[in-house]
Amino acid sequence: KEIIFEYYGGFIPWILNSFSPLFVFIAAIFFTSQLASHSEIIAMLTSGVSFKRLLVPYMISAAVICVFSLVMGLYIIPPANQHRLDFENKYIKQQRVINESRNLHYQIAPGQFVYIEQFSPWANTAYRFTLETIDVESGELKSKVSAESAVWDSTFSGWKLHNYYERNFYGESEMVSAGRVKDTIIDLTVKDFYRRKNIVESLTQKDLNEMIETQKMRGDATVKYSLIEKHNRIAMPFSAFVLTLMAVALSSRKKRGGTGINIGIGLALSFSYILFQRFSQMFVHTGIMAPGLAMWLPNFIYAGIAYVLYRIAPK
């Protein structure tokens, strides 16, 4: 029961939306190939119906699919993914640390910076911990707290600083204090060191945008996963227009192999599109391309292919 409703209840909508470009492409090719094999397209063109007019119902269908996919990706799938990811965390995959465990630098608030030499996930301890507060307007250092270690304490959701040394600056004067243990609460929790890469799949668009702003402020390198998810949610639904145009232009001409050859070519092109989507994500991880451009690049390239096929389609 838990597998069916919690896991597959979230997995099925996610996988259907992820492969929606494939389904759209194959459906358009199959329908158009059937028309072409029965010479219906030739009859429409010879009766005075232009190829552009022939595309109108296809584009209307693509618009409906695009809107449906947008609504699914922005509002329905993220909450459903939460159940799927919770199930995976509980039964399938162990929680993984995706932040680098050494030499961490965060801006946790405007003018407030945290430096950690090493973080131990087993002890929930940050070693060589430093917290600096800088005046945003003047850029002057207001305070600096250094500690040998900072241990996460869940009882008050804060950090216990061990063997700390604190300096506070007041103009030309300075106040120094030191001690063995000091409790502090900052906008950095132990969960920030355990966040999984795919947690962004379960966030609503509003929460995703807020996470991106926080990650950018902190200088968090994992912001690329959030940006990929954000742009992919928008770019993928619009592929319905590109792939529909490509499918109609490709299969509108009657071929000797009939529907089978068109479906074969369509499968190859649609799988290559999905594969290129994955490769474009690697461009982001390697720093070759910005996330927004990388996620839209498959649409741009295949739009060019669709235009070439459209130009050579029977008119």
9 and 74 together in one domain:
yes
106 and 82 together in one domain:
no
Per-residue model confidence as pLDDT tens digits over 235-283: 999 999 999 999 898 888 777 666 778 778 877 888 888 888 888 988 8
Per-residue model confidence as pLDDT tens digits over 189-236: 888 777 666 778 888 888 899 889 888 877 777 788 889 999 999 999
In a domain, 96, yes or no: no
238 and 290 together in one domain:
yes
Q: Which of 83, 109, 269 is nearest to 186 (CA)?
A: 109
**In the predicted model, is pLDDT for residue 9 greater than 90?**
no
In a domain, 257, yes or no: yes
In a domain, 204, yes or no: no
Place of tokens 């103009």: 171
79 and 109 together in one domain:
no
In a domain, 40, yes or no: yes
The torsion of the CA quartet 288, 290, 291, 297, rounded to 10 degrees, works out to: -80
Per-residue model confidence as pLDDT tens digits over 30-42: 888 888 888 888 8
97 — pLDDT class (breaks 50, 70, 90):
very low
Structural domain tally of the chain? 2
- Within 10 angstroms of residue 42's Cβ, the number of other Cβ atoms is 15
Average pLDDT of the chain, as a whole number: 84
176 and 259 together in one domain:
no
Token output for 98: 């995706």
In a domain, 171, yes or no: yes
83 and 111 together in one domain:
no
289 and 227 together in one domain:
yes
Please, how many CA atoms are within 13 Å of residue 214, restricted to the half-sphere of its CB?
11
Place of tokens 């929680």: 95
**In the predicted model, is pLDDT for residue 1 greater than 60?**
no
87 and 106 together in one domain:
no
**In the predicted model, is pLDDT for residue 110 greater than 80?**
yes
> What is the reported pLDDT for 196?
66
Token output for 95: 């929680």
Show the domain range for 129: 102-193
126 and 176 together in one domain:
yes
